[in-house]
Amino acid sequence: MRLWLIPILPLLGAAINGLFGRRFSRQLVALVALGFCGAAFAWALWAAAKLSGGSYSETIAPWIRAGAFQVNFSFYLDHLSLVMLLVVTGVGFLIHVYSVGYMWEEGGFYRFFCYLNLFMFFMLTLVLGGNYLLMFIGWEGVGLASYLLIGFWFTRDSAASAGKKAFIVNRVGDFGFLIALFLMIRHFGSLNFDQVFGMASRMNPETAGAGLLTTIGLLLMVGACGKSAQIPLYVWLPDAMEGPTPVSALIHAATMVTAGVYMVARSHAIFERAPMALTVVAVIGTLTALFAATIGVCQTDIKKVLAYSTISQLGYMFLACGVAAFSAGIFHLMTHAFFKGLLFLAAGSVIHSIGGEQDMRKMGGLRKKIPVTFWTMTAATFAIAGFPPFAGFFSKDEILWRAYQVSWAYWLIGVFTAFLTAFYMFRLWFLTFFGEYRGEEPRAHGEHGHGGIHESPRVMLVPLVILAGLSIAGGWVGIPGSLGGGNQFERFVGPVFHAAIPAGGGEHGRETARQEREAEGSEPETNAGTELMFTGISVSAALLGLLLSWWLYCKRTELPGRIARAVDGFYEAVLHKYYVDELYAILFVKPLIDGSSKILWQGIDRGVIDATLDNSADGAREVSDTIRHMQSGNLRSYAGWVAAGAAGVIVYMIWIGVR
């Protein structure tokens, strides 16, 4: 099946564009980039068609062989990675097409597509890797690509700093990931998925406190927090909006930030046997979802609202994984890729049409002027709010239902967050498209000789329409049984999470198989009626959010200002993102910089290393300065030294002789 071609094709595109793109015309650069990305998508489809028997793995070449420890370049495809693969290549290709239009007038065109293809290569390595080490390479690589793309307009200080911040915060998470890998090597002797999960599933669940699996799980979660922007390592994602909007769509909505969810889902064998780690995952996910939603309510930059929305939705996915509903989490990952990608691309279209303005307070009344963007964004907004029959409804509802079965607290916070999500998304919708236009006339740019608000070119609109279709229909593969569907998604991906037991496990194997099925929980065995009631509750929460935002931002538009002034202190705190960035600056950044400059630079580098060299040179000079007085030109002093030397030699000889 030649799985290795799927990552390599975008790498070739990146190499060609990177090495020769400067001399290409824009059309050629776009052709190369789109061609290789599209080829990867096509090959992925073909691999999907050819996949039989649930999983497929191929080993290309050995890589590390150190005694009993061996790691190969091996790729692995099962239904889980197939879903991720199709999402990454499909949505990625659409965003490539969109970027051609969006970045057409920007400088560095070839560089952008080189980085974009490079990102695809690393992401596909991450998804298709057959062992943790290849996944880690992809993991690090997407971090690198993210840094390059966030800081694409590197001449802007804020963009360069945002890129650095993203990379460094990611690294903190990667540290946890690395330690987990080391623990795996130490205790399992291997990093290959089949061996690690085989050995893990033979171990007993750790119900009494922390053991090896809990530690590995928690460390993996640290890595996922960094990559997928959960508490406490989420601070890089809002700053990452400094990058071009297609970058935000691809990396910080659809694919890279979901790598953490994918990794946790892939490691389900470890997590299922470490209940404490699962609880931590769920708690972090829930808290992050709520926290980010509250911040998103007050933001005025359209992309920042979407960024906090991403963090919040990722929290939902981690909540799903934390209650062992892995397939629900992956389902939400897929639908989220559709509607969040669409939201970002449409936001980019809005920004493009009004000439670069991103502040929502300066928008308004755009729905007549950019109709295609308006209708596609409407579809995405309804999808993320969780209205049936759009995509987000089915996935979010599944998560909330499964969360309730573990604890009502998860469910309650989840529903409240759904209300907040609907509220701020419709707030965005109303502020942008309704009311009067509050901004200035956009400047003329590019080939558009006239100023004025205009729709985006077709190359940008076609991906919007396609993604809108997916946002509407994408959830229909996961309609749960209680609503009359067959839940094909669960049936497609679910077996991955059951099949961790090696064949012939015997009595113990069957026992854990049954427990796993219960923990993972295929179709719930409880009342379909209860499930319908909860569905109704979540839909009403979304409706409530819609009505509240309509009232505040359409009808009585002076009210938000009055409310903000009434809760002034609290409002300021939320507006400034609860001052978390400032807190981190005081706690971590400032001590690090101070320690580095005062201790490492001035203390050690200048004080010890340089000083040693300088002082040894000075010392040599002083010694020679002193000794030079021996050369006085005076005969008698020479004679004196000779006599003293001779005496010394005589003493030595006599001493030798006497002994």
Residues near other proteins, by CB under 8 A: 628, 631-637, 639-648, 650-651, 654, 657
Q: Closer to other proteins at the Cβ: 61 or 635?
A: 635
Give the pair of three-digit tokens for residue 59: 């080993």
CB of residue 597 to other proteins, shortest distance in Å: 45
Q: Closer to other proteins at the Cβ: 586 or 647?
A: 647
Distance CA 375, CA 543 (A): 19
CB of residue 590 to other proteins, shortest distance in Å: 56
CB of residue 628 to other proteins, shortest distance in Å: 6
CB of residue 620 to other proteins, shortest distance in Å: 17
CB of residue 636 to other proteins, shortest distance in Å: 4
CB of residue 637 to other proteins, shortest distance in Å: 4
H-run or E-run covering 59: strand 55-66
CB of residue 648 to other proteins, shortest distance in Å: 8
E-strand stretches of 346-413 = none
CB of residue 654 to other proteins, shortest distance in Å: 6
Q: Closer to other proteins at the Cβ: 452 or 648?
A: 648
What's the distance, Cα to Cα, between the start and end of the chain in Å? 87
DSSP labels, 63-115 = EEEETTEEEEEEEEEEHHHHHHHHHHHHHHHHHHHHHHHHTTTSS-HHHHHHH
Give the pair of three-digit tokens for residue 502: 């090696």
CA angle 361, 363, 367 (to 5 degrees): 140
Distance CA 89, CA 144 (A): 19
Q: Closer to other proteins at the Cβ: 547 or 651?
A: 651
Q: Closer to other proteins at the Cβ: 562 or 628?
A: 628
CB of residue 618 to other proteins, shortest distance in Å: 20
Give the pair of three-digit tokens for residue 64: 């590390």
By the 8 A CB rule, do 76 and 196 touch? no
CB of residue 621 to other proteins, shortest distance in Å: 15
CA 249 vs CA 241, 302, 327, 392, 452: distances in Å: 10, 13, 23, 17, 26
CA 111 vs CA 161, 223, 268, 557, 590: distances in Å: 19, 29, 38, 44, 34
Distance CA 300, CA 506 (A): 59
CB of residue 622 to other proteins, shortest distance in Å: 16
Q: Closer to other proteins at the Cβ: 570 or 641?
A: 641
DSSP state of 407: -
Q: Closer to other proteins at the Cβ: 64 or 651?
A: 651
Q: Is 352 helix (H, G, I), strand (E, B) or coil?
A: helix
Q: Closer to other proteins at the Cβ: 27 or 631?
A: 631
Q: Closer to other proteins at the Cβ: 533 or 644?
A: 644
Distance CA 279, CA 541 (A): 26
Q: Closer to other proteins at the Cβ: 617 or 650?
A: 650
By the 8 A CB rule, do 272 and 205 touch? yes
Residues 6+ apart with CB under 8 A from 97: 34, 459, 462, 463
CA angle 331, 58, 64 (to 5 degrees): 110
CB of residue 635 to other proteins, shortest distance in Å: 5
CB of residue 655 to other proteins, shortest distance in Å: 9
H-run or E-run covering 616: helix 611-627
Q: Closer to other proteins at the Cβ: 588 or 641?
A: 641
Distance CA 608, CA 602 (A): 9
Residue 220's Cα: distance from chain center in Å? 14
Q: Closer to other proteins at the Cβ: 597 or 632?
A: 632
CB of residue 623 to other proteins, shortest distance in Å: 15
Give the pair of three-digit tokens for residue 584: 């981190």
Q: Closer to other proteins at the Cβ: 186 or 636?
A: 636
Alpha helices in 103-211 (DSSP H): 109-128, 132-150, 157-188, 193-201
Residue labelled with tokens 């609290």: 570
CB of residue 629 to other proteins, shortest distance in Å: 8
Q: Closer to other proteins at the Cβ: 532 or 642?
A: 642
CB of residue 617 to other proteins, shortest distance in Å: 21
Sign of the dihedral through C-alpha 642, 646, 649, 651: negative
Distance CA 40, CA 124 (A): 10
Q: Closer to other proteins at the Cβ: 19 or 654?
A: 654
DSSP state of 430: H
Nearest alpha-carbon partner for 103 in 19, 15, 30: 30
By the 8 A CB rule, do 240 and 286 touch? no
CB of residue 638 to other proteins, shortest distance in Å: 8
By the 8 A CB rule, do 554 and 433 touch? no
Distance CA 146, CA 255 (A): 11
Q: Closer to other proteins at the Cβ: 504 or 657?
A: 657
Residue 570's Cα: distance from chain center in Å? 30
Residue 520's Cα: distance from chain center in Å? 25
CA 190 vs CA 76, 187, 268: distances in Å: 16, 8, 17
Nearest alpha-carbon partner for 84 in 266, 239, 224, 221: 266
Q: Closer to other proteins at the Cβ: 155 or 624?
A: 624
